Amino acid sequence: MKAFPLYILMIVATLGAAEPDAPSAGEKAYAKGDFAGAVESWQEEARHHGINPGLLAALGNAEWKLGRKGRAMVCWERSLLLDPHNAVALAGIRHGQNAGGVERPGATWPETYASVAGADLWLLVATLSFWAALGAVLLPRIRRQPAGEWNQRLRVTALTLLALCIPGLWGARSLAHRAVIRKTEISLRLTPTQLGEATQAVNEGDVVRTGRPFNGHIRVTTSDGKTGWLRAGEIEPVWGGGLPADLDQKAAP
Amino acid sequence: MLRLSSLLIGCLLLALTAHGDDRVNWEITPRITAPGQPFRLQIQVDSDVPLGGAQNVGRDIRPPRGMALRLSGQILRPDSTEATLNFSGVAPEQEGEYVIPSFNLRFPRKMISVPEIKLIVSKTVAFIRTNQARAELSIPDRTFYVGELIRGSINMRGGEQESVVASFGLESVAEGFTFGVTSDRQPLPAEMGQGLQTSFELTPIREGLNEVIINGIMLIQSGSTSVFNNAGRDRPFTFRRRIAVEHVPQKGRPADWSGAIGKFTAEPQQASNEKPEVGEPIRLRAVLTGSGNLDRIVPPEIMSNEVWDVLPATERRRHAEEQRFFVYTLVPRLPGKQKTPEIRFSSFDPETKQFSRLVFASAEVTVTGNAPAKVDLVTRDPAAPIGSDAGLKLSGLAKPDPASGSLFSRHSMIEPLAASKLFWSSNGLALLLIVAATGVILIAGYLASHPQIIIHWRAKRGLQRAIRQATRARGDAPAFAKIATGGLKLGCAAILGAETEAMTQSDILRVLPEAKRETLDALFDAADGNKFGSGTTIRTTNQEEALILLHLVRDLL
């Protein structure tokens, strides 16, 4: 039993030692300006060890440097889903909007509120609060005893947290229904059909709000409030993926 | 008048379409040819009207696959009703009987149908190929890639008896490719003998199995005289080649691949001025050499940094040397010995099917002058026109930190917890269990506080069983009495809240005041009298009354 704290110390020391001080191959390549090499290196790392906000944001930077706006925006947006305060991803998106002409819908107040914590954190807190409140209500009844002072405090705290989570959950849900346009030279269509009339041009890298799917198309709303239909293969949802999907057109360069 | 004009038009149409007086003869020389052997086709037309020159003959005639056939000319005689058309052709390479489908000859005043023409190709015919002039298609035999530049040539080789003096009419019918002649009618390399060479470039534009058809005519000259004397004559050729085209593989494709397919080498960068001042633009030239689709390559991009402002590339190409120049304008921002940014470039080799990466090595430049007080990292888009929105201050990208948050938050997919079925099903199941447990506890508690509910329910079930058994035991008086007495005791005990065995006739009368005392006495006597030696037999009427009493007690429960 005495060995347990020692074991924990060893783990912490190992984790500390594992933190690489020397730049990785991807970082070296990025610093040298070999952005394609950096992308390859970081993608390889992501495939083998999984992704994290920092890696996604770095990948977004390298993709942006290669001129692949769509892939870069997907990386940055996904990085922010995992860590809403990731400085590299925030700077990348700001740079994309300022310099790259990328359009991104402005955040509503529930979305701003939700971005204080990650979507999963809101749901976890809400779930825990719900169970805590339910437990606090049921436990005295099961024990056939009146609710004590601590039980009352627990009920109030849990119900307050649950109430505070509701706008966060709503904002997170709203943030989840977004996608990045991955194809160049496409337009919103009036109808979700092959011959749907083009209504407004949209650019690669633009972020749109997504609605219902129909007939292989998805209804989207652009940052300036224009709605229309885009083919499902022309956009990539922010949620539900790891590295950006390979949607590059196969046509001859 | 109308009738007359209709008659005239009818007569005219009849005259125009009449075939009765037209005679068409054809002759192929030789009648049977060897594979690849040239032949002549002569068509003679004899009509009832002056014919003149045939129009668009090549458009209507459809030679079979592998056969080259071209109109050589027509013998024209003024106001003659006869016409002779000569074709030259080359037999297909495969043995068999080939049919040129029926086609129309369009003369100014008449259209005449030519019947099917047959040509037999047989290997039994003696034919020395090297004696004749012949055309050969030279093109690599492998899978090609969309966007690749395929170089090929048509080698028109003279024979021992014929020489090639000219060529014309090269055309390509190749859907899925772009076709362009790069050099025409060049002398053949010495090792190939006398002849001409026409080089061309093909670029596949879509994947799949595509067919390239190239047609043309070469002019040949022969000194000898023979049956097939083609002196000063034209000879057509046609090539059909199926070519497999694929897209450049996705696997292993570098992120900066910009469409280069071929074999290239990158030469070191060359700066126009090796000692510029701070702020003085210099031109940086990168030369890409090699064989491949140089025209289709998107120039590699150099990003501005703290040392250099970079303006977008311009480019030039020197076609003959298979080179392409990328020229960048760089403006130094800091003094000192500086290296120009490396230019990276990826290409795909279609023969090894591998991607390779090239680097245009940096050039060293000594920048003179003074450094500005502060150098901002890419603050403005250097290529933006003055006063435009694009020239607004840029925020720049932050330095990447791929290790941040990597200790405990590695994900294979970014799936929201809200999309997890396990999360919702486990929470839903827990809630359902709690609701169910609460319901069970509430019901059990209610029943515990109201025990008569279960007593009445059990008594009712016992009474129903007693009624069924009593009905069946009518013939057996003692058994009937025992069952009926037991049922009445059970029911009345539940109603009175007493023990079943303690019930007497008086207790039953308290529950059922309308019951007759005699009937109950007889029933109890028949049921239990034997114990005391005074057992009697219950009458049938009493049995009916007992059954009625059992039903009454059941209804009271």
8 Å CB contact between A204 and A69: yes
Q: Is A78 on the interface with B (CB under 8 A)?
A: yes
Angle, helices B451-472 vs B540-556, to 10°: value is: 160
Nearest chain A alpha carbon to B255: A36
Q: What is the pLDDT of residue A3?
A: 47
Q: Which residues of chain A are in CATH 2.30.30.40 domains?
A: 178-237
- Closest chain A C-alpha to B249 CA, distance in angstroms: 9
Cβ within 8 Å, pair B403-A20: yes
Q: What are the tens digits of pLDDT across the range B272-300?
A: 888 998 888 898 988 888 888 888 888 88
Q: Which amino acid type is present at position B478?
A: P
Quick check: B229 pLDDT over 90? no
Distance, CA of B77 to CA of B47 (rounded, Å) = 13
Q: What are the tens digits of pLDDT across the range B152-163?
A: 899 988 888 888
Q: Which amino acid type is present at position B259?
A: G
Closest listed residue to residue A169, CA positions, set A131, A210, A127, A114: A114
Task: Give chain A positions within 8 Å (CB) of B415.
Answer: 239-240
Nearest-CB residue to A253 (from B296, B301, B357): B296
User: pLDDT (tens digit, 0 to 9) for every residue of chain A, 253 residues total?
Assistant: 444 455 555 544 444 444 456 788 889 888 888 888 899 899 988 888 888 889 999 999 999 988 888 999 999 998 888 888 889 999 999 988 887 788 999 889 999 998 888 778 899 999 999 999 999 998 888 777 888 899 999 999 999 999 999 999 999 888 889 999 998 888 999 988 888 888 888 999 999 999 989 989 999 999 988 999 999 889 999 887 788 887 654 444 4
CA angle B117, B122, B125 (to 5 degrees): 110
Pick the residue with more confidence: A102 or B72?
Answer: A102
Q: What are the tens digits of pLDDT across the range A142-173?
A: 777 888 899 999 999 999 999 999 999 999 88
Task: Give chain B positions within 8 Å (CB) of A45.
Answer: 402
Q: What is the pLDDT of residue B541?
A: 62
Quick check: B181 pLDDT over 50? yes
Nearest chain B alpha carbon to A125: B417
Nearest-CB residue to B397 (from A95, A246, A253): A95
Cβ within 8 Å, pair B416-A120: yes
Cβ within 8 Å, pair B255-A62: yes
Distance, CA of B100 to CA of B98 (rounded, Å) = 7
Which residue bears the tokens 């060897």?
B34
Structure tokens at B514: 């309308």
Instruction: Tell me the CATH number of domain A178-237, given options 2.30.30.40, 3.20.190.10, 2.60.300.12, 3.40.1190.20.
Output: 2.30.30.40
Choose, out of B256, B346, B394, the residue to mutate when testing the contact with A (most A CBs < 10 Å): B256
Task: Give chain A positions within 8 Å (CB) of B393.
Answer: 98
Which residue bears the tokens 């500005």?
B372
Q: What is the pLDDT of residue B395?
A: 53
Task: Give chain B positions within 8 Å (CB) of A59.
Answer: 402
Where is average pLDDT lowest: B95-109, B205-219, B243-257, B367-381? B367-381
Nearest chain A alpha carbon to B293: A253
Q: What are the tens digits of pLDDT across the range B5-42?
A: 565 555 455 444 444 568 888 888 888 888 888 888 88
Nearest-CB residue to A241 (from B255, B406, B413): B413
H helices of chain A, in order, are: 3-18, 25-32, 35-49, 53-65, 69-82, 87-98, 109-114, 119-143, 149-176
Strand partners, B168: B217
Domain architecture of chain B: domains with CATH: 18-121 (2.60.40.10), 129-246 (2.60.40.680), 262-382 (2.60.40.10), 451-556 (1.20.120)
Q: What is the pLDDT of residue B343?
A: 87
**Residue B104, helix vs strand vs coil:** strand
Judge residue B330's burial from the number of C-beta atoms within 10 Å of its C-beta, 0-12 exposed, 13-18 middle, 19 or more buried: buried
Q: Where are the beta strands (DSSP E) in B158-204?
A: 162-173, 177-187, 195-204
Cβ within 8 Å, pair B402-A45: yes
For the residues of B489-521, what is the DSSP string, one character each? HHHHHHHHT--GGG--HHHHHHH-TTS-HHHHH
Q: Is A249 on the interface with B (CB under 8 A)?
A: no
- Closest chain B C-alpha to A50 CA, distance in angstroms: 5
Nearest chain A alpha carbon to B296: A253
Task: Give chain B positions within 8 Å (CB) of A15.
Answer: 407
Q: What is the pLDDT of residue A251?
A: 43
For the residues of B342-386, what is the DSSP string, one character each? PEEEEEEETTTTEEEEEEE---EEEEBS---S---SS-S-TTSPT
Q: Which residues of chain A are in CATH 1.25.40.10 domains?
A: 23-102
Rg for chain A, CA atoms, rounded: 23
Cβ–Cβ pairs < 8 A, chains A and B: 181
Task: Give chain B positions within 8 Å (CB) of A19.
Answer: 403, 407
Task: Show which of residues 16-45 on chain A sit within 8 Å of chain B, judged by CB atoms.
Answer: 18-20, 24, 26-27, 30, 32-37, 39-40, 42, 45
Q: What is the pLDDT of residue B315?
A: 62
Distance, CA of B348 to CA of B432 (rounded, Å) = 60
Cβ within 8 Å, pair B412-A50: yes
Task: Give chain A positions within 8 Å (CB) of B266.
Answer: none
Quick check: B393 pLDDT over 60? no
User: Which residues are CB-contacts of A47 (< 8 A; sequence separation ≥ 6)?
Assistant: A243
Mean pLDDT of chain B: 80
Q: What is the pLDDT of residue B230?
A: 46
Task: Show which of residues 148-167 on chain A sit within 8 Å of chain B, judged by CB atoms.
Answer: none
Task: Show which of residues 208-227 on chain A sit within 8 Å of chain B, judged by CB atoms.
Answer: none
Nearest chain A alpha carbon to B247: A250
Q: What is the pLDDT of residue B390?
A: 46
Task: Give chain A positions within 8 Å (CB) of B300.
Answer: none
Task: Give chain B positions within 8 Å (CB) of A252.
Answer: 146-147, 203-205, 259, 296
Closest listed residue to residue B543, CA positions, set B486, B492, B474, B491: B474
Q: Domain A23-102, what architecture?
A: Alpha Horseshoe (1.25)
Where is average pLDDT lowest: A124-133, B451-460, B531-540? B531-540
Strand partners, B338: B365
